[in-house]
Amino acid sequence: QVQLVESGGGLVQPGGSLRLSCVASGSIFSINAMGWYRQAPGKERELVAAITSGGITDYVDSVKGRFTISRDNAKNTVSLQMNSLKPEDTAVYYCNADVTSAQAMGVVYEYWGQGTRVTVSS
């Protein structure tokens, strides 16, 4: 079993910054891609940022230049630095990871965290 735990969400004023963190633990052989998704009320869940095990990143256009995704493979963590936050960034943010199982090597499972809420409001 693998667990993903997010932290760092909260209330911030427009133009402010937050740093989200996600820690993976459990039966992990390796972690392939990791990413952050978000879902606002009435909207579909969307990919915000993703990062491969080799450090290649991808961002949704609306956050390019403002958000930075990074990972620490030794600690099985992924972070999302969010700067210049806008009200439209308000959503529940979910950590996602593709994990190669330590118990079934070669089998990749997708895991999700419980989410952390980000509210951008004055």
Asked if residue 99 lies in contact with residue 31, where contact means CB atoms within 8 angstroms, the answer is yes
Q: What is the DSSP-derived secondary structure letter of residue 8?
A: -
Distance in angstroms (rounded) separating the CA atoms of residues 45 and 35: 13
* Residue whose C-alpha is closest to residue 25's, from 6, 54, 7, 1: 1
> Tell me: the pLDDT tens digits for 64-112?
999 999 999 999 999 999 999 999 999 999 999 999 988 887 789 999 9
pLDDT at residue 71, as a whole number = 96
Asked if residue 47 lies in contact with residue 83, where contact means CB atoms within 8 angstroms, the answer is no
112, containing H or E segment: strand 108-112
Q: In Å, how far are 15, 44, 52 from 84, measured between CA atoms?
A: 4, 23, 25
> Tell me: the pLDDT tens digits for 18-74?
999 999 999 998 999 999 999 999 999 999 999 999 999 999 999 999 999 999 999
Using pLDDT thresholds of 50, 70 and 90, give the confidence band for residue 1. confident
Q: Vertex 83, ends 82 and 84: CA angle to 5°?
A: 135
